[in-house]
Amino acid sequence: MIRLAIQSKGRLNEDSLRLLQDTGILVDDAKRKFLGKAANFPLEVLYLRDDDIPGVVADGAADIGIVGLNETAETGAPVRILRRLGFGRCRLSLAIPKSVVYPGRSWFEGRSIATSYPRILKKFLDENGIQAVIREIRGSVEIAPAAGIADAIFDIVSSGGTLVSNGLREVESVFVSEAVLIGRENLSPEKQALLSSLLFRVDAVQESRGKKYILMNLPTPQISKVLELLPAMRSPTIMPLAAEGWSSVHTVVEEATLWDTVEKLKEIGAEGLLILNLDIVVA
Ligand code: ATP
Ligand code: MG
């Protein structure tokens, strides 16, 4: 049995549960439960506040966890980063009142900065030789300047909307974060084997994200052009069609450039394109 800690509610909860679901592991949606058990994999799920996850994994009360890289760095817990998961993207930035003219990092010298991330902030200030007062507050950091608590803030930014609505301006982006799968050191051989099997599934799920399966009919002489067009396509499946001089080509394409690809394929004579969702790719 391996134990995974995830956020019980909040921004990472849904995506963490979805990742488990995509790996085919069935856990009951135990929002109010503390500990759940998967139906078809030897896995327990511990639902926690995100701040507690790195420490709980480091202590061994859980073996692995899904949490923001920001929380992992802030706690300084001795855990291994096993995988970056691509969701929960945000950054930790310094922001100042928007009316202030910003001459550069030296502006922070001697100022006070409110944050829930004192450790990451201190590292940045030290690296830049800046002496500033760090005011640690737990929540509502963005109101600190208006409330006279601090001159500036150091906080999570994703779109920047919260900063703008509080009359602040992002001036330094310091730390880039996303959700990560963390693990403790020294797992037993049994847990290590379960972890490997889980990582295999996670990798397959990640590999499949953002991809589509495409099928098309193409005049056979054009096949070399398709290969030029889609260099990522290492070995497309090519099959002769019943109609003389035509082939069917199947391959995987990136969703982000799907429509550009479709246009180019049409230009070189592709017909009858079918674009399908792709569940899992196992390399
Ligand atoms: P908890 O109750 O579990 O302590 P929380 O309020 O501390 O929750 P959330 O706001 O749910 O935390 O955010 C969890 C994580 O989601 C953050 O630590 C960060 O890694 C990530 N995240 C991504 N985008 C944002 C954002 N715009 N604001 C806040 N967190 C974000
Ligand atoms: Mg928290």
The verdict on the CB of residue 156 being under 6 Å from ligand 1 is yes
**Which among 54, 37, 57 is positioned nearest to 45, based on CA atoms?**
37
What CATH topology corresponds to 2-88+178-207?
D-Maltodextrin-Binding Protein; domain 2 (3.40.190)
CATH topology agreement for domains 2-88+178-207 and 90-177 = yes
The class of domain 90-177 in CATH terms is alpha beta
Note the pLDDT of residue 21.
94
Atom index in ligand 1 nearest the CA of residue 9 equals 3
Residue from 9, 17, 83, 78 nearest 48 by CA = 9
- What is the 100 CA–ligand 1 centroid distance (Å)? 28
Q: Which strand (E) or helix (H) includes residue 71?
A: helix 69-75
Helix (H) or strand (E) holding 191: helix 189-208
The CATH classification number of 210-277 equals: 3.30.70.120
Residues of the chain with pLDDT under 50: none
Q: What is the pLDDT of residue 29?
A: 67
The answer to whether the pTM exceeds 0.85 is yes
Sequence ranges of the domains in the chain = 2-88+178-207, 90-177, 210-277
CA distance 269 to 187: 55
The maximal CA–CA distance of the chain, rounded, in angstroms, is 79
Is the distance from the beta carbon of residue 158 to the nearest atom of ligand 1 less than 6 Å? yes
Ligand 1 neighbour 49 (Cβ under 6 A): yes
Residues 199-238 have pLDDT tens digits of: 999 999 998 998 999 999 999 999 888 888 876 556 788 9
pLDDT score of 282: 82
